[in-house]
């Protein structure tokens, strides 16, 4: 029977009783997820018990995001929720880490006086020690400064929060671009590539624990290696050549100064997926200029056209921003037409929010939120038309997928009607968490996470996800 919190903390302080239980609330992007996984691993090494349920925890760590307004609001709500649990006596301590701390530093101490510890982005070993201390009811520093920016070294072991089929692999930190809407360079610093041998060492460890897809992430992955006299294709080839049956997927490419040997690898190397996430932000040249993006709309078009011709069947994913100061309805219409013309079915669209500390913040915000939202919907409708068409064309086809989740079936009981065993998978056209999935049902009893199997597409659901069944061969294997 779990001891009451006060008794547990007293016994923990005496060095006896149950270990401190810590939960982590993760917010933000894949790069921040790697930080959450590093924090979880350091906590485990510090002897605390990691629980997935904040209600079970003595200490909760909130790993925040502060990229744009809505993300900051989400971080604020997550922090305040834990502070309410603390003031109600259900929680012993609240710790805040991540981009919100990196951006606002000690200002946060005034904003959240009841938070027990703030920690800047680091290797998190000191954070874990202080969390264990807080769990024992011992006070420590209220603020942990980072010893400096992370460099080109390898990152320590992680407690993966992704299913074993894929894992994110950070190849560099920070960004040298100065996009006028983006605060990331002020949060994560200038661009620093991790050395090839360090990224390869991390990749090998992931492959050794059964990871089948390495999803390369950075602020600007295409800048990798330029500070070491190398280029991204050198790294991608080295990772693809590692022993194993893994695949390499590249996210967060920048459309300008594109390292074209990467296209050859995506076309010719069996382990480099013919897929690229390449945020373009917009296509109208006046808007790209105002955003301080390198390259005109025509240059972006030429880059995507060449990718399409150099890598037959390539899947392109992108991200766009609507409502930037000075944007017109015609600019947004040009973007929507571009999405349809280039058949960009895998696309995220956001509306602009002025960010303190960015050069865009000084610009007159002359696009009303309703207009920005209407333009965003215009672009998303174009995307959805493209997507529905390309997904429907796969019905009846056999495609290879990577299994990310397997859910065993169960008979009818008090929890509800019987459920068939089912699985969730992805085609090579789909990156985890941002693109589409494949619903597999029924499934053979031998299907497992991390398996690549052939499936026959039987339908497309209302969100354009595929519905499929294992082929006879796959099921009988």
Residues lying near ligand SF4 in the complex (CB under 6 A) are found at 175, 177, 179, 182, 184-185, 219-220, 254
Smaller CB distance to ligand SF4: residue 219 or 470? 219
Pairwise CA distance, residues 136 & 15, whole Å: 8
Smaller CB distance to ligand SF4: residue 115 or 182? 182
Scanning the structure block, which residue is given the tokens 């920690």?
Answer: 119
For the bound state, the minimum distance from the C-beta of residue 140 to ligand SF4, rounded and expressed in Å, comes to 33
Pairwise CA distance, residues 249 & 271, whole Å: 9
Cβ neighbourhood burial of 313 (10 Å; 0-12, 13-18, 19+): exposed
Smaller CB distance to ligand SF4: residue 176 or 310? 176
For the bound state, the minimum distance from the C-beta of residue 361 to ligand SF4, rounded and expressed in Å, comes to 14
Q: What are phi and psi of 26, to 5 degrees?
A: -100, 135
Identify each DSSP E strand in 124-239 by its residue range.
Answer: 143-144, 166-170, 172-173, 192-193, 213-217
Smaller CB distance to ligand SF4: residue 213 or 277? 277
Scanning the structure block, which residue is given the tokens 């834990």?
Answer: 82
Smaller CB distance to ligand SF4: residue 180 or 391? 180
Show the tokens assigned to 178: 């100065």
For the bound state, the minimum distance from the C-beta of residue 435 to ligand SF4, rounded and expressed in Å, comes to 19
Angle at 33 (CA atoms; ends 30, 37), nearest 5 degrees: 145
Pairwise CA distance, residues 450 & 165, whole Å: 4
Pairwise CA distance, residues 82 & 112, whole Å: 11
Smaller CB distance to ligand SF4: residue 153 or 190? 190
For the bound state, the minimum distance from the C-beta of residue 296 to ligand SF4, rounded and expressed in Å, comes to 16
Of 34, 348, 25, nearest in space to 167 by CA: 34
For the bound state, the minimum distance from the C-beta of residue 260 to ligand SF4, rounded and expressed in Å, comes to 19
For the bound state, the minimum distance from the C-beta of residue 185 to ligand SF4, rounded and expressed in Å, comes to 5
For the bound state, the minimum distance from the C-beta of residue 293 to ligand SF4, rounded and expressed in Å, comes to 7
Pairwise CA distance, residues 67 & 100, whole Å: 8
Smaller CB distance to ligand SF4: residue 54 or 360? 360
């Amino acid at each position: 029977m779990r001891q009451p919190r006060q008794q547990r903390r007293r016994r923990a302080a005496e060095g006896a009783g149950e270990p401190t239980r810590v939960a982590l609330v993760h917010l933000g992007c894949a790069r921040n997820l790697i930080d959450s996984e590093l924090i979880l691993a350091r906590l485990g090494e510090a002897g605390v018990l990691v629980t997935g349920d904040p209600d079970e925890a003595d200490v909760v760590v909130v790993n925040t995001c502060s990229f744009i307004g809505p993300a900051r609001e989400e971080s604020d709500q997550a922090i305040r929720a834990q502070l309410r649990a603390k003031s109600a006596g259900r929680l012993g301590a609240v710790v805040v880490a991540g981009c919100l701390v990196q951006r606002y530093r000690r200002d946060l101490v005034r904003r959240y006086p009841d938070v027990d510890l703030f920690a800047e982005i680091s290797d998190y070993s000191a954070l874990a020690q202080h969390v264990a201390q807080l769990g024992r009811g011992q006070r420590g520093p209220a603020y942990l400064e980072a010893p400096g920016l992370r460099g080109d070294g390898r990152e320590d072991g992680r407690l993966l929060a992704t299913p074993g089929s894929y894992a994110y692999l950070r190849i560099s930190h920070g960004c040298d671009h100065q996009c006028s809407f983006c605060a990331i360079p002020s949060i994560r610093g200038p661009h620093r590539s991790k050395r090839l041998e360090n990224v390869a060492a991390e990749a090998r460890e992931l492959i050794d624990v059964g990871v089948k897809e390495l999803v390369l992430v950075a602020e600007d992955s295409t800048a990798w290696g330029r500070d070491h006299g190398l280029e991204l294709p050198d790294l991608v080839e080295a990772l693809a050549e590692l022993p194993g049956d893994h695949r390499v997927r590249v996210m967060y490419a920048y459309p300008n100064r594109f390292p074209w040997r990467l296209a050859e690898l995506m076309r010719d190397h069996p382990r480099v997926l013919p897929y690229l996430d390449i945020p373009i932000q917009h296509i109208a040249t006046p808007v790209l200029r105002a955003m301080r993006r390198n390259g005109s709309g025509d240059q972006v078009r030429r880059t995507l056209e060449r990718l399409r011709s150099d890598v037959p069947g390539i899947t392109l994913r992108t991200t766009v921003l609507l409502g930037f100061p000075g944007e017109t309805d015609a600019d947004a219409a040009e973007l929507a037409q571009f999405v349809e013309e280039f058949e960009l079915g895998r696309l995220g669209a956001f509306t602009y929010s002025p960010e303190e500390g960015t050069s865009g913040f000084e610009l007159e915000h002359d696009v009303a939120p309703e207009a920005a939202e209407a333009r965003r919907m215009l672009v998303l409708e174009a995307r959805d038309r493209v997507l529905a068409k390309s997904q429907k064309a796969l019905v009846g086809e056999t495609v290879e997928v990577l299994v990310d989740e397997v859910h065993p079936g169960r008979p009818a009981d008090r929890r509800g009607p019987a459920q068939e065993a089912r699985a969730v998978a992805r085609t090579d056209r789909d990156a985890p968490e941002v693109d589409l999935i494949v619903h597999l049902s029924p499934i053979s009893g031998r299907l497992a996470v991390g398996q690549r199997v052939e499936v026959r597409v039987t339908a497309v659901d209302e969100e354009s996800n595929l519905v499929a069944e294992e082929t006879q061969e796959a099921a009988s294997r």
